[in-house]
Amino acid sequence: MPRYDAIVTLDQEQVEVIIGLDPDRVHLRAGDLEIGNWGADECAIAHLGEGVYAITVENESLRFVPKDARLFEEGLDHGTGYGLSPAPAQEALEDHRGRHARRVDAPPQITSRAEAPPPKPLTLALFYMLAAVTAGLSVWALIKII
């Protein structure tokens, strides 16, 4: 069974998944958790453009981005029995939520560097304590050498 790594976004969180394409089943897993397991005749896979795909089952869609879109598309076209269906209407993907699928946005494009949040006081205290201990040990080592 061909398997492909992909990323889906569920509740504003990116989740790595594995999509398995048997000749008669589609399997979607995140680690040990099974997200979906559908018959080939129950679902359709559509290319939405720019390496983004959608699996539609029972009028519910889940958008995903394979890590290697070219390899995934080749797998769909050759040997798995799945072909790309026409892309569903964008409005249907954006407005529909169900038990198998949630609205998934394309991966965010990083346009500028975001700043990290400031360190917590405990983190700063531990950092300065470690720096002081390191400096003290360095001085002690220099004294012992001389």
Domain total of the chain: 2
Q: Poorest-confidence range of 59-63, 117-121, 133-137? A: 59-63
Does 25 fall in a domain?
Answer: yes
- Do 123 and 88 lie in one domain? The reply is no
Residues 6 or more apart whose Cβ sits within 8 Å of residue 82? 21, 26, 40, 45, 76
Cα(7)–Cα(51) distance, rounded to whole angstroms? Answer: 11
- Which comes out higher in pLDDT, residue 86 or 46? 46
- Do 132 and 83 lie in one domain? The reply is no
Q: What is the pLDDT of residues 23-38, one digit of tens each?
A: 788 888 888 888 888 8
- Rg of the Cα trace of the chain? 24
Q: Where are the alpha helices (DSSP H) in 1-146?
A: 69-77, 90-95, 121-145
Q: If pLDDT is split at 50, 70 and 90, which confidence band does 69 have?
A: confident
- Do 71 and 13 lie in one domain? The reply is yes
Q: What is the mean pLDDT of the segment spanning 16-25?
A: 84
- Do 17 and 85 lie in one domain? The reply is yes
- Do 62 and 18 lie in one domain? The reply is yes
Supply the pLDDT for residue 74: 77
Cα(65)–Cα(42) distance, rounded to whole angstroms? Answer: 21
Does 134 fall in a domain?
Answer: yes
pLDDT at residue 91 above 70? no
- Listed in order, strand segments (DSSP E) in the chain are 3-10, 13-21, 25-30, 33-39, 43-49, 52-57, 60-66, 84-85
pLDDT at residue 114 above 70? no
CATH number assigned to the domain comprising residue 42:
2.30.29.30
- Do 134 and 78 lie in one domain? The reply is no
Residue 14 lies in domain? 3-95
Cα(29)–Cα(70) distance, rounded to whole angstroms? Answer: 21
Q: If pLDDT is split at 50, 70 and 90, which confidence band does 50 have?
A: confident
Does 86 fall in a domain?
Answer: yes
Query: How does the average pLDDT of the chain come out, rounded?
Result: 75
Does 47 fall in a domain?
Answer: yes
Q: Please give the torsion angle defined by the CA atoms of residues 87, 35, 58 and 95, in that order, rounded to the nearest 10 degrees.
A: -60
